Structure 1
Amino acid sequence: MVCQQAHTNADSGRRRRDEFYREKRQLISALFNTHASNFPVTFVFADGRSIQLELFACKATGTFQSFGISSATTGTTTTTRAPVCSLQWIAIGTTVAGVTNNSSTDTSRLNTPRDVFLDTVNTLVVADTTNNRIQRWTIGAIQGATVAGQADGGVGTDATQLSGPEGVAVDPNGNIYVADTVNNRVQLWPLGATQGTTITGLGLNSPTGIAYDANLNRLFVADTGNNQVIQYTLSNPVVSAVVAGTNAAVPPNPLNAPTGIFYDAPSDSLIIANRDANNIIQWFLATNTFLVLAGDPAGTAGTALNRLSAPRGVTLDSNRNIIVADTGNHRIILFAFGSPTDGTKTGRIIAGTGAAGNDD
């Protein structure tokens, strides 16, 4: 009899607990306003009370502006400051293509890769420069597949060959555009093709970086040796024009061996890794004007966080932070987009240590 009573009391307790949690689950709904600059999130309770959290974006400096919580019933607001952003880059990288300190023409190896493109089907397309080929790597695979050039690393000038390619881009249809650097030409390799066709080769001098604009079907090529960027409108016939730099000496031309380029559609501008000027330039195509986004406007190299040394690559992330391959300093550095543009903007190292090495 005692045991039965204990069992009954336990059942009663579980029922009360279950009813309590069912009630709690019905208390709350969430409203997200993604159009506001500070991204407020409002929780509304069944009894009419509401609580609003104001979530502020992580800054490139690694800090939050603030994190606010307000209650509509009391009208009070509490705000706390976070000294560092809780979202941090992992300091130790993971090899996703090739083998550390082991170069060859084997399909599992790379040799001096100079550019990489993540295509629409989530595979890496790599300019395997010293192997004179372009490799496609499915993420997680231990081997790549040759999609342009010769798998055995053969070098040459005919349509099936490449020589020291340093830039690659892929359009939404899977067509591959290659800056065939030593051959001073740009090659188009259609999806699945065994040879390329020359888009242009006249007047180029060591082309490196390459970027594709899917909206207007334009290709941008860093004509590195000529200190300029050329735009190719991929119509029939192809129309070309110099859109950044002047093929002139430095100065007055602000470009000095432009290498990596990124097309920013919202501003219709090019973000340029200005290698020998040790800075990053934004070039506005409509007005033919430019800003120095990072590094020294005067071109001085350095190791401080507001300086760069021979940057070869640049991109923007989804928050429009500028991510730079600071080659001479053996590091990847992140800068907030926008002002200041006077050389005082400091970045944050997100990969590398500043010293060369297999673990850099």
Structure 2
Amino acid sequence: MNRFSDIDCSFKRLAPVYGFRVAKLVSIEEALQSVESQIDELPYFINVAKRHCHYPSEHGLTHDESASIYIYTMEWGEQTLYRVLNKTLRNENRHLCKIWFPYLKLFDTALNKLPTVKEVVWRGITADIGKNFTKNQRITWWSINSCSSSVNVIKGFLGNEKNSTTLLIEALNGKKVSGYTKYESEDEIILRVGTEFRVKSDALEHPKGSYHVHLIEINDENNDNNHTSNPQPKLPENNVTTPVSPPPTFGKITEPDDPSKDSKQPLIDGNGGRCWLSIIISLTLKCLGISIRVLPHPLALFESENKNNIKQSTRPQTGSCLFHRKSKLILIIIVVLSLITITSITIWIIFIKKTETTINGPKWDKWKQNAITMAGGNGQGQELNQLYGPQGIFIDKNKNIFIADTYNDRIVEWKHNANAAQVIAGGNGRGNRTDQLNKPTDVIFDQQNHAIITADQGNRRVIQWLNQKQQILIDSINCSRLAMDKYGFLYVSDWKKNEVRRWKMAEYNNEGIIVAGGNGKGNKLNQLNSPGFMFVDDDQSVYISDLNNHRVMKWKKDAKEGRIVIGGNGQGGNLTQLSYPEGIIIDHLRQIYVSDFGNNRVIRWCKGKEESEIVVGGNGQGNQSNQLIGPGGLAFDNEGNLYVVDHWNFRIQKFVTVL
């Protein structure tokens, strides 16, 4: 039996399993600790999974999340994890499932981050269970269901068995895990625990006793068993306030309920009604904390009192009373004129400053939104005109592009406007010889020495290629990305130790100096969580894409902690948020550009602004010229054109600057 044929044949009605969704998210070691008694040598297999799983993940999976998928697909006998787990999930005693909740939570969280597929998938079993399926029957699988998008994979498992059943499934919420499994060629799609189906028609029986069953996944909006990957960030609710007008008050300065209704009123309203001058005065008084009441016009008072049937006094005003009123009026006029003057000067100063900013301020660059493909774009592959999972790039003064072609285990150089690349490092198969690479993730071209420096992540080393000669510069380091400052110092981000170290050029026989992080994994200002791409400015401040914290950090030279410059507001798609930031670069105006991997866009943050702006992408996931799927490394050429690694479109895109 294999996981593609690990199918529930009993058709028993079981109570739902959903408690794992509220379980605490923990490491894979903690998640499986409670089931160690059921699986011999489980810690050893966990260690194997963590060493060989696909990490770092272009989908933002943590190391433990990626390992949870890998170990599920491993085979080591009757106690293989998926067999023990699925047997428990099909047991009528649902209490037995509880010890698996931590692992199911970790596994489910990992699936949430992977692409959702809506396509035909296949399963098969060497048993004639097809006769048990009838048209319009509804069934629920309470185990984890491994399928393949390739029918040939299922045929290979079934062989020439006469009594077999092949299941064709129209999946709506499948999760594509190929690339994260031990057997990457099996094109595996996983259907989650609790997936419900409708039988399309009675099973088709073949002469040799085999059956063909057609199932359709049910996507009921009200069914809690359905999931969606990468939910869109919740938008803030619009708080609609209905203005309520207070009763009219004569002589009191108030703000208009609706300024548009007062646009035809005279500037000065002798009856104390609302006017634009009143608005300015009212706002100014409120700012100063002054509360005054303008004396009503005698006629207005007379009319008001008449309307309220109040008896009017006909006694003439005394001299002292008139003097008192005149004094108050003069005082009020002086205050009003002073406030008008102050307001006018303030408005004029603001206008002058805005004018100066417009005239003398920096001009923000813009780029054409439809990109030109400069490298790759011919599908996934290992031919010289193809790329497979590119990550880091470097562009020299001649606009030649150096690319870390990660899953082809090579560094390629794409000459300006060339149709194909040439391999300049690696390309000799995946391995740990000095002439081989293992999933290189970044590349720097030392233009002075004509040397290539590579983050050879799979081999845990930084290696230099000079005139076809290789030299290991730094060994035993979980290198993620590289950067170099103008003084020749080399910076390496370590995703596992959650730190960035610096080495002086040509002095690599030491452990380097920690310049960021190094205080364990976390989200405090002195911590990082899987640091990736970096940029070092002229002051040797290091800007870091803090991947799993969904933020960009700035660590000044010799600082003890960093400062959040972009993001840090949780994972999301708002312009104050990021989703697994990748490539980072800063221009001459100190504007920061970041590849927002999970949102398929490149954003820019300018000092003084409260939120970022989208520079390119952000048009949904796709392969059109204005779309990206998982943008990675960034670079500018000497003309200001922006180059973006379009990771899952297997291409390098050039966005031309608008002059």
Q: Does TM, scored on the shorter chain, surpass 0.5?
A: yes
Q: How does 1:222-301 map to 2 (within 5 A)?
A: 222-236=493-507, 238-239=509-510, 240-252=512-524, 253-265=526-538, 267-296=539-568, 300-301=570-571
Q: For 1:87 and 1:171, locate their aligned partners in 2 and report how far apart those are by CA, in whole Å.
A: 28
Identity %: 28
Contact 1:325 1:332 in 2 (8 A): yes
Equivalent residue runs for 1:193-212 within 5 Å: 193=468, 195-202=469-476, 204-205=477-478, 207-212=479-484
Alpha-carbon deviations, 1:186-244, whole Å to 9, x = none? Answer: 11111x31x42111122x22x121011242x2110111121111112223453412221
Q: Report what 2:433 is aligned to.
A: 158
- 1:20-169 alignment to 2 at 5 Å? 65-67=357-359, 88-100=366-378, 102-150=379-427, 154-169=429-444
CA distance in 2, matches of 1:86, 1:211: 25
SS in structure 1 at match of 2:514: strand
1:353 paired to 2:591: no
Which position in structure 2 is the counterpart of 1:313?
Answer: 583
Q: Distance in 2 between matches of 1:255 and 1:149?
A: 31
| Residues 228-278 of structure 1, C-alpha deviations (whole Å, 9 max, x = no match) | 11112223453412221115131444211110011112x211111111010
Q: 1:291 to 1:87 in 2, by over 3 A?
A: closer
Q: 1:188 to 1:333 in 2, by over 3 A?
A: same
3-state DSSP of counterpart to 2:554: strand
Cα offsets for 1:7-50 (capped at 9, x unmatched)? xxxxxxxxxxxxxxxxxxxxxxxxxxxxxxxxxxxxxxxxxxxx
TM-score (norm. length: structure 2)? 0.39
Instruction: Give, in whole Å, the separation in 2 of the partners of 1:285 and 1:354.
Output: 37
Report the CA distance between 1:137 and its aligned residue: 1.1
Compared CA separation, residues 233 and 142, structure 1 to 2 (3 A): same
Letter in 1 for 2:388: N
Query: Per residue, is there more helix in 1 or in 2?
Result: 2
Opposite residue 141 of structure 1, the aligned amino acid is A
Mapped partners of 1:327, 1:237: distance in 2: 32
Identify the match of residue 178 of structure 1 among 454, 468, 476: 454
Quick one: distance in 2 between partners of 1:99 and 1:188?
A: 28
Decide whether aligned partners of structure 1 residues 339 and 226 sit closer, same or farther in structure 2, where only a CA change above 3 A counts.
farther
Q: Does 1:218 align with 2:489?
A: yes
TM-aligned CA distance change 1:284 to 1:99, over 3 Å: same
Distance in 2 of aligned mates of 1:168 and 1:129? 11
Partner amino acid, structure 2, of 1:182: G
Work out whether 1:187 is the aligned partner of 2:463: yes
Q: Distance in 2 between matches of 1:322 and 1:127?
A: 23
Contact between 1:148 and 1:196, CA under 8 Å: does it hold in 2?
A: no
Which runs of no fewer than 5 residues in structure 1 stay unpaired? Answer: 1-62, 69-80
SS in 2 for 1:67: helix
Q: Summarize deviations over 1:42-62 as a string: whole Å, max 9, x none.
A: xxxxxxxxxxxxxxxxxxxxx
C-alpha change, 1:87 and 1:259, in structure 2 (3 Å) is closer
Which whole-Å CA distance do the structure 1 matches of 2:540 and 2:357 have between them? 29
Structure 2 SS opposite 1:182: helix
Paired letter, 1:213:
D
Confirm or deny: 8 A CA contact 1:171 1:212 kept in the other structure. Answer: no
Counterpart secondary structure, 1:155: coil
Contact persistence 2:601–2:618 (CA under 8 A): yes
- Which of 1 and 2 has greater Rg? 2
Residues 284 and 86 of structure 1: CA distance in aligned 2, closer, same or farther (over 3 Å): closer
Shift of 1:112: 0.7
State the distance in 2 between where 1:237 and 1:185 align: 12
What is the RMSD of the two structures over their aligned residues, measured on CA atoms?
Answer: 2.2
Question: Does the 8 Å contact 1:170/1:212 carry over to 2?
Answer: no
Find the counterpart in structure 1 of residue 185 from structure 2.
Answer: none
Please tell me whether the aligned partners of residues 188 and 198 of structure 1 are also in contact (alpha carbons under 8 angstroms): yes
Which letter does structure 1 place at the counterpart of 2:437?
L
Please tell me whether the aligned partners of residues 520 and 527 of structure 2 are also in contact (alpha carbons under 8 angstroms). Answer: no
- 2:442 and 2:454 in contact (8 A); partners too: yes
Query: What per-residue deviation string (whole Å, max 9, x for no partner) do you get for residues 262-313 of structure 1?
Result: 1112x211111111010111111233342111112x5x11101111000011
Q: Following the alignment from structure 1 to structure 2, what is the Cα–Cα distance between the partners of residues 111 and 145?
A: 15
CA shift for structure 1 position 64: 9.5
User: In the alignment, is the contact (CA less than 8 A) between 1:232 and 1:238 conserved in 2?
Assistant: no
Letter in 2 for 1:331: R
Determine if contact 2:440/2:454 at 8 Å carries over to the other structure: yes
For the residue of structure 2 that corresponds to 1:104, the secondary structure is: coil
Q: What is the one-letter code of the residue matched to 2:460? A: N
d(CA) in 2 for partners of 1:87, 1:236: 39
Check the 8 A contact 2:566/2:576 in 1, yes or no.
yes
8 Å Cα contact 2:555/2:563 also seen in 1? yes
Distance in 1 separating the partners of 2:588 and 2:531: 24
C-alpha distance in 2 between matches for 1:251 and 1:90: 36
Q: Is the 8 A contact 1:149 1:162 kept in 2?
A: yes
In the alignment, residue 127 of structure 1 is paired with which amino acid? A
Give 1:86 shift: 8.5
Q: How many residues are treated as equivalent by the alignment?
A: 267
Question: What are the residue-to-residue correspondences of 1:303-342 with 2, within 5 Å?
Answer: 303-336=573-606, 338-339=607-608
1:318 and 1:170 map into 2 onto residues whose CA distance is 21
Could you tell me which residue of structure 2 aligns to residue 58 of structure 1? none
User: Is the CA contact (8 Å cut-off) linking 2:485 and 2:540 kept in structure 1?
Assistant: no
Whether the aligned pair in 2 keeps the contact of 1:172 and 1:214 (CA below 8 Å) is no
Residue segments in structure 2 that go unaligned for 5+ positions in a row: 1-354, 628-659
SS in 2 for 1:166: strand
**CA–CA distance in structure 1, aligned partners of residues 492 and 578 of structure 2:** 22
What is the aligned partner in structure 2 of residue 31 from structure 1? none
Tell me how far 1:138 sits from its aligned partner: 1.4
